[in-house]
Amino acid sequence: MIEVDGLTKRYGRATAVDGVSFRVERGEILGFLGPNGAGKTTTMRILTCYLPPTDGTARVAGHDVFAQPMEVKKRVGYLPETPPLYPDMSVRDYLDFCARIKGVPGSERRTRVADAMEKCRVGDVRDKLIAKLSKGYRQRVGLAQAILHNPDVLILDEPTAGLDPKQIIETRELIRSLAGSHTVVLSTHILPEVSMTCGRVVIINKGRVVAEDTPDNLTRRLKGAGTIRVEARGDAAAVLEAVRAVPGVLAAHPRGGHDGVVVVDVEAEAGRDVRAELAWAVVTKGHGLVGLQQMGMSLEEIFLHLTTTDAAAEPASAA
Amino acid sequence: MTALRNVAAIVGKEWRHYFGSPIAWVALFVWTMLFGIFFYFALSYFLEASMRVAQQGMEFGGGMKLSLNEVMIRPLFHNMAVVALFIAPMLTMRLFAEEKRQGTIELLATSPVSDLQVVLGKFLAAAGLYALMILAGLVNVALMWAYASSPPEWKPILTGALGLFLLGSCFLAMGTFVSTLTRNQIVAGILSFCLFLGMWTLGWAEDPMGGPVSKVVAYLGVTTHLEDLVKGVVDLKDVVFYLSVITFGLFLAHQSVESQRWRA
């Protein structure tokens, strides 16, 4: 549904997006994850034909954003970071106007507007001025605007930013309910959001794609490089020494202990499972093995891993 | 067909902004009030002048009739052109500046409407409101048919109103362009006013004894071309001049909107 190839956007000397490529299949929810200033908004603006790319191509629903912007615009619903609302209009008037400029035929306009209002639960404020609405309602009106013309593709820039926890949950449910009939791309810098709503994640940092996978796979892929927690009975220094001697172990950090049990966090090489060797080493040195646990990295840790250290980013982007 | 529908949608939206906020009401109020005041002054002057002429006629025999069109309506239209100079920035300053400030320009730019349709829609909305203002003012003039012993000629009034409309539309087109340059309404308003004033003062270069340069400069002034229309003479070159300025203003606005996206 969306094919992005080598997309690049330069502002003068600064490069906001640098050779980004990814694909989104029909009905999928793709999470676009990255810290602020990573190039998420710029990429989305290119996909919605708001900005022309400096280089590379992007095709949405089979149409090139540069060559056939009108065709793309007809098939895309877009919610920018700040919902594009006219404060001096009522919700109903605003959506009616949006329906007009999005080319919804006159005969269907009323039903489409009513439909979008119902889906986004803004029906109870339909006659209120947008200026008087709370942040949560504004966000929902913005979302209603995006789904009005029943677009194939929905592009949502930080749809939950600035909402309270209850509203965030509601918005996520709404987005999930839209998947299937729509292809959704949403950006966020909040990690739990991706694992909760998205089927696939593209992590972007400094304008480059750093990783692309399902939330589960990303976690699994980096599990090897994760930590293993060893709990053993015995002398702390001796346990540490035994653990460090195991081939494949990069480092071991004592994490204190209690009741004579020593806790050590062991970092192992990526893709190498050293649990058996660890257990063997501890036991043969005469320490009582109390616990051995693989500490799976949460997406949050992966994210920090990927975007704060260059060395870790290289193998991930090559994979 | 869709192009027309899109333009109409923009016009409708802009009218909702105009009438949903005080802008349209203030503009209509100020315009009609000043129209009325100038009408009243012109009428008093006309009565006084015709009295004087009648007296002279009695003293020296013969006597002549003053033309309502010449003595009263022509200066009225010229006065209203000055008012248009002041009111036009009010109508255009927020057209694009406000969309940029609110971020709603992103909605327009990512909807299947072309930049040209947006520019046209916004200009036509302003021009429509301005036309309504002129019509409201003309009610004063219409009263003359009810009360004057010999009513004025209606053709010069119509062409004068057309001239007034065209002159104001030049301001509105240029103002639409200026509004695309900034996200601050006040800046757009002040810049527009300075630009309009410049367009106006070019006409002051008119000098019967002047060389070709002053002739060209005077030709570019917006007021130069109002004179004939107010007199009831529709000269094609005046109409073409106004239409060219309007087209030029809209062209600049369109280029500006489009190029900002490239530079952004």
Other C-beta atoms within 10 Å of B118: how many?
Answer: 25
Q: What is the pLDDT of residues A76-106, one digit of tens each?
A: 999 998 999 999 999 999 999 999 999 899 8
Tell me the C-alpha distance between B239 and A232, whole Å. Answer: 96
| Chain B residues lying within 8 Å of A70, measured CB to CB | 112, 114
**Pairwise CB contact (< 8 Å): A50 & B5:** no
**Pairwise CB contact (< 8 Å): A100 & B9:** yes
pLDDT of amino acid B159: 92
pLDDT of amino acid A44: 93
Tell me the C-alpha distance between B241 and B228, whole Å. Answer: 13
B252 pLDDT band (50/70/90 cuts)?
Answer: very high
Tell me the C-alpha distance between B27 and B90, whole Å. Answer: 8
Q: Which of B106, B111, B261 sits opposite A102 (nearest CB)?
A: B111
Contact of B80 with B164, CB cutoff 8 Å: yes
pLDDT of amino acid A38: 81
Whether A179 and A236 share a structural domain: no
What is the pLDDT of chain A when averaged over all its residues?
83
Helices (H), chain B: 2-20, 22-60, 68, 74-92, 94-102, 105-110, 115-147, 154-179, 185-201, 212-220, 226-231, 236-263
Tell me the C-alpha distance between A109 and A96, whole Å. Answer: 7
Q: What is the pLDDT of residues B30-67, one digit of tens each?
A: 999 999 999 999 889 888 888 888 888 777 766 567 77
Whether A249 and A156 share a structural domain: no
Mutate to test the interface with B, among A86, A92, A104, A153 (most CBs of B within 10 A): A86
Whether A126 and A175 share a structural domain: yes
Q: Which of A51, A93, A101 sits opposite B16 (nearest CB)?
A: A93
Last residue of a domain, one of A179, A197, A221: A221
Tell me the C-alpha distance between A102 and A158, whole Å. Answer: 22
Whether A215 and A242 share a structural domain: no
Mutate to test the interface with A, among B6, B107, B122 (most CBs of A within 10 A): B107
**Pairwise CB contact (< 8 Å): A97 & B12:** yes
Mutate to test the interface with A, among B106, B120, B183 (most CBs of A within 10 A): B106
A99: left (phi over 0), alpha (psi -120 to 50) or beta: alpha
Q: What is the pLDDT of residues A145-173, one digit of tens each?
A: 999 998 999 999 988 877 788 888 888 88
**Domain presence at residue A156:** yes
What percentage of chain A's residues is helix, strand, coil (to nearest 5)?
A: 40, 30, 30
Residue B70 has what DSSP assignment?
I
Whether A201 and A233 share a structural domain: no
**Pairwise CB contact (< 8 Å): B112 & A145:** no
| Chain B residues lying within 8 Å of A97, measured CB to CB | 9, 12-13, 16
Question: Which residues, listed in sequence order, are joined to residue A29 by a DSSP beta bridge?
Answer: A184
Give me the residues of B, 20-39, that contact A with CB < 8 A: 20-21
**Distance to chain B for A205, nearest Cα, Å:** 21
**Pairwise CB contact (< 8 Å): B110 & A50:** yes
Tell me the C-alpha distance between B133 and B164, whole Å. Answer: 11
pLDDT of amino acid A310: 36
Mutate to test the interface with A, among B100, B102, B111 (most CBs of A within 10 A): B111
A88 Cβ under 8 Å from any chain B Cβ: yes
% pLDDT > 70, chain A: 88
Whether A164 and A186 share a structural domain: yes
Angle, vertex CA B93, rays to CA B89 and CA B98, nearest 5 = 165
- What ipTM describes this predicted complex? 0.87
B146 pLDDT band (50/70/90 cuts)?
Answer: confident
What is the pLDDT of chain B when averaged over all its residues?
90
A101 Cβ under 8 Å from any chain B Cβ: yes
Domain of residue A254: give its range: 227-295
Give me the residues of A, 142-171, that contact B with CB < 8 A: 145
Whether A259 and A194 share a structural domain: no
Last residue of a domain, one of A221, A242, A259: A221
CA B171 to the chain's CA centroid: 6
Q: Is the model's pLDDT at B81 over the cut of 80?
A: yes
B141 pLDDT band (50/70/90 cuts)?
Answer: confident
Find the CATH number of the domain harbouring A246. 3.30.70.3190
SS3 B41: helix
Whether A210 and A267 share a structural domain: no
A132 Cβ under 8 Å from any chain B Cβ: no
**Domain presence at residue A318:** no
**Pairwise CB contact (< 8 Å): A73 & B111:** yes
Task: Give which of A166, A205, A165 is closest to A187, Cα–Cα.
Answer: A205
Residue A188 has what DSSP assignment?
E
What's the total number of domains in chain A? 2
Whether A53 and A200 share a structural domain: yes
Q: Is the model's pLDDT at B235 over the cut of 80?
A: yes
Find the CATH number of the domain harbouring A192. 3.40.50.300
Q: Which of B17, B105, B111 sits opposite A101 (nearest CB)?
A: B111
Q: What is the pLDDT of residues A246-263, one digit of tens each?
A: 887 877 878 777 777 888
SS3 B211: coil
**Pairwise CB contact (< 8 Å): A84 & B103:** yes
Task: Give which of B126, B131, B95 is closest to B257, Cα–Cα.
Answer: B95
A240 pLDDT band (50/70/90 cuts)?
Answer: confident
Q: What is the pLDDT of residues A37-53, one digit of tens each?
A: 788 899 999 999 999 99
| Chain A residues lying within 8 Å of B16, measured CB to CB | 88-89, 93, 97
Delimit the domains of chain B by residue range. Answer: 2-29+77-263
Tell me the C-alpha distance between A6 and A56, whole Å. Answer: 5
Q: Which of B10, B106, B112 sits opposite A70 (nearest CB)?
A: B112
B259 Cβ under 8 Å from any chain A Cβ: no
Last residue of a domain, one of A202, A221, A240: A221
pLDDT of amino acid B61: 65
Whether A247 and A164 share a structural domain: no
Q: Is the model's pLDDT at A130 over the cut of 50?
A: yes
**Distance to chain B for A3, nearest Cα, Å:** 19
Tell me the C-alpha distance between A69 and A66, whole Å. Answer: 6
Q: Is the model's pLDDT at A317 over the cut of 50?
A: no
pLDDT of amino acid B73: 85
pLDDT of amino acid A303: 65
Q: Is the model's pLDDT at B236 over the cut of 50?
A: yes
What letter represents residue A219's amino acid?
T
**Distance to chain A for B99, nearest Cα, Å:** 9
Task: Give which of A248, A308, A255, A319 is closest to A280, Cα–Cα.
Answer: A248
**Pairwise CB contact (< 8 Å): A74 & B103:** no
Task: Give which of B109, B124, B93 is closest to B257, Cα–Cα.
Answer: B109
**Distance to chain A for B8, nearest Cα, Å:** 9
**Pairwise CB contact (< 8 Å): B112 & A102:** yes
Task: Give which of A103, A197, A196 is closest to A150, Cα–Cα.
Answer: A103
B144 Cβ under 8 Å from any chain A Cβ: no
CA of A69: which chain B residue's CA is closest?
B112
Whether A118 and A261 share a structural domain: no
What letter represents residue B233's amino acid?
V
**Distance to chain A for B87, nearest Cα, Å:** 22
Task: Give which of B103, B73, B248, B251 is closest to B164, Cα–Cα.
Answer: B73
Q: What's phi and psi for A59, nearest 5 deg?
A: -120, 130
CA of B257: which chain A residue's CA is closest?
A50
**Domain presence at residue A133:** yes
Whether A69 and A214 share a structural domain: yes
Tokens of A124: 């109870």
CA of A75: which chain B residue's CA is closest?
B112
